[in-house]
Each structure stands twice: as C-alpha cells, then as structure tokens.
Amino acid sequence: GRLVLRACLQKGIKVAAINDPFIDLQYMVYMFKYDSTHGRYKGEVHHEDGKLIVDGQAISVFQCMKPAEIPWGDSGALYVVESTGVFLSIDKASAHLQGGAKRVVVSAPSPDAPMFVMGVNEDKYDPSSMTIVSNASCTTNCLAPLAKVIHDSFGIEEALMTT
C-alpha cells in the first residue's frame, strides 16, 4: 500500500483515502516517511485533524476491519487498491464496492478475478464488465513481460520458473 501511495504521488494522482486497521495515524506517518527498503520519503509528511498529510495533500484515513464498512464513496475514492493480501477473491474484494468504490485492483494473485500484467495482456481488460481485477504477483510482473517478448519472437514450448 505504501509503495502504491508513493507511486501515485510521483505521478500526480490524487489519493482520496487509506484504510489500515492495524496501525494508528502517528505510526502511519512514521512508516511512510521512513521506509527501511525504499528509503526516506523526501517530501513533507505529518497528520492533522485525523488525516494523513503528504506534501500538502490531505488523505482521509480509515481503520475498518471489514471492507464493506470503509466509506470510500464519502471520501471521493473511485478506485481501491486492495493490498492486504486477505480479500483476494471477487466475492471478498467486492465488499469495497459496498463502501462506494467503483473499481478494485487486487495487488496479488486472485483465485477468480481476471489477472492483468501491463505489457502482456492489458488489452483484454473490459471496463464494461470487469469491476474487480488482479495485478497478479510481483514475480509474474517480473517474468511475464520478458517471457512474452521471447515467446512472441521465438516461441516458448515449455518453461520452468523457481522463486
């Protein structure tokens, strides 16, 4: 979730809300500012009036255990990135829609949601029928684009991958 927030901020994408039922707002500020893997966030991060403030942008913060209880619509959130690793199926991820979200992207493999990898099969996405999709796994996102180039150029008859 924190990396998605960083990526959105770098691209100028407005983030309306965050839900994290496991940490308080003060610790959320600390965790975002001091990422042990990706380094210290160079911008301004603090909290004020129950909101996370990042580079002057106020982000609503919720601490709901159940996705259906998160008021995404009230905060103006249209798209939800489900990155808990818990609500992976269409049935479970669809609870976000009850809170007012319009679309959900699951950041892990799903047992039943269509999976997309940019540069590989995003052309198969149908916005008229797919409100919940999966971005597959980090391993798939590393391997699939390379495998696609090799397959398209030379063909792959059989492959084995280990992680």
Instruction: Give the predicted TM-score (pTM) of the model.
Output: 0.88
Instruction: Spell out the domains of the chain, with CATH numbers in brackets.
Output: 1-63 (3.40.50.720), 65-154 (3.40.50.720)
Q: What is the pLDDT of residues 124-163, one digit of tens each?
A: 999 999 999 999 999 999 999 999 999 999 999 999 988 7
Pair 62, 18: CB distance under 8 Å: yes
Q: How far is CA 96 from the centre of its chain?
A: 13
The verdict on whether 138 is a catalytic residue reads: yes
Active-site option among 8, 64, 138, 142: 138
